[in-house]
Structure 1
């Protein structure tokens, strides 16, 4: 299945039904008077968050969504039937913008959450509403109003508590495969990961936490270089960033600075997001513990936090790393509950 995280669609609410001009023509009821009913309300276009969707692929081929029109009013003061709403399912995490003004319309995060994006038109009044002392037989009715029409831009931002970031080939996909049941494509060349991968990692308590493996960032990603700029939005929702640095690269310290600078340049508070820093692939330097320790010490001095040394391939150090992940998430949950 293709991973599509942006789409533009057109939505249009249903037209309201026209009011009716009618008069009572019943036996034994002389001068029955006006009896034209009102038109029914047009249906609305509604977006609904669904758990079973992971991509906006459906909107690549279908761009126009219309709700049903309301029905014309009937005789004997009968109101026309309202048009049915058009309900469109979108993945949880979909952000909705007005494509013309770029205004934020809504953010669908929770399963079952709904957002009306195009209201149906109001039904027209039948001639019964125009009865007066001066006009006992009005032959006037109003047409139904058109439904709201809008152009929308949909953006999917993955819902994950932990985002795994780093340069290409830092071992992000290998790590998420080691921690969860996710099986992303893994190879020894840059940009193996072309789309974000999600994996559910089980806490010791048995609860599941969603981790997202974000495709590799490179220098200038926030300006549109490489692949990472396409997926920076997906770490906006994460509560914690797990930053992997490849200890076998030519300059791990420069790699660290590159990612930090991209987070700062992108903005939206990503640079201030809590981070855990881990040096990956220590199995490749198993015979050179002094080098590992020296690089870890430099990174600790730069970041001001503890640096974990791990190997996603051999699983060395993963248990200690995950203990720290759970500790920070629990602290954040406790803080959030105390604030609310």
Structure 2
């Protein structure tokens, strides 16, 4: 069997060669569900499709495997065993979880719904291949293109919110308050419930390029929330208690995260399946994984093993084959993962409790033609 393609990062000594028999629970997993998620990635990989947020490019072996997956597979377990080689990531693993927000919204402002969800500005340019370096040492992944073609830093969250510094962005809808908007931006997508019973899907359309700062971490560091008590609901409650209006303390803390996310209305067939991840594929609950896109390519399968409260408040085993289909500004490191839990309030409650150690095993692609 081939040793598989090494990931495109220098710390290859972090990977330990193992066999599928070494993966506790692999044979008991629903690998047909994992394969269904992989096929959604395969569609994009095989077609060299456009990614929402660019990542390490897939190696030729993964492209060939994606093409084979689209031809149909009788035995998903045999498919993964034949075309991939497991490697245990020896770095300390850590997982969080995220979900798709569902919130009430209006298409025009009215009392109680005055916070706009903004579209992508016309002058926003992605700089993933050549970030804009600042004298401070910060690197911006997006910038503003001026009329003369020059690139300058895009205004940060505070300027956009208080000064209207993204004038070419237009409101797509209005939500209750800046805390609700902030949550949507952190999650990267949302389902907006309208008064007539309709639902409008938002998909990530870009960000201003400033580095992400964890507001939850700021609340803990300043003694406003105990680390052991931190949940998504408590974070929202605390920010609202501190005040989310202009100049109020909660608003100022949120503005310390200078990153600002823009959206688009998405009525595509794929979006009807689920929110669109960084790869451009619809996400599958408990099968889609966000990874560090500077290290891993989309479409790689990862085995994640942890004891987490994913079904109730009790911590139980989570042992599943996940597919790398998303990324996030806070997802940094070879063994850092973010588990997609689905949509709605219940998923949000469970996702907000996940901050746990985990074992992560990556399945690297074999050369097509290799295998047992």
Q: Normalization by structure 2: what TM-score?
A: 0.22
The structure with the larger Rg is 1
More strand as a share of residues: 2
Which is bigger in relative contact order (C-alpha 8 A, separation at least 6)? 2
When normalised by structure 1's length, the TM-score is 0.23
